[in-house]
Amino acid sequence: MIDWAAFAIVAAAALVSASVVVSLFAFGLRLLNVGRGLDADDTPGIIETTPSGSVSVVGGQTERRPRWATVAAIACFTLCSGAVLFGIYLIVPVFHSS
């Protein structure tokens, strides 16, 4: 007999766990970036030349990250690593034998 339910379980488990872990980490990174500029590799920075001749770069890491964002980011990273450890805990039979 081919156990189709087992395939469904594997697919669902992989989808949910990977999505949760990736999303949590991404949210963490996003929160760390609150109040900061765009990615350097995506935007080279806009160089503006004023009529008087002075040159300034718009964007970049000039602003400071608020405290709540740092705390929330750490919470996301903690939850992320917690999710990974819980996943490993679930599949190791040693933890469930007793």
Q: Which residues bind another protein (CB under 8 A)?
A: 1-3, 6-7, 9-11, 13-15, 17-19, 21-23, 25-27, 29-30, 32-33, 36, 38-43, 81, 84, 87-88, 90-93
HSE-CB for 94 with a 13 A CA cutoff:
3
Cβ proximity to another protein: between 38 and 52 the closer is 38
Task: Count CB neighbours of 77 within 10 A.
Answer: 17
**Nearest distance, CB of residue 81 and another protein, angstroms:** 8
Closer Cβ to another protein, 13 or 57, answer by number: 13
Contact 2, 37 (CB under 8 A): no
How far apart (Å, rounded) are the C-alpha atoms in residues 69 and 34?
7
Which residue number, 26 or 71, has a Cβ lying nearer to another protein? 26
Cβ 67 to another protein, closest distance in Å?
A: 18
Report the relative pairing of strands 46-49 and 55-58 from DSSP bridges: antiparallel
Nearest to 82 by CA among 32, 31, 27, 24: 24
Closest contact distance (angstroms) between CB of 3 and another protein is 6
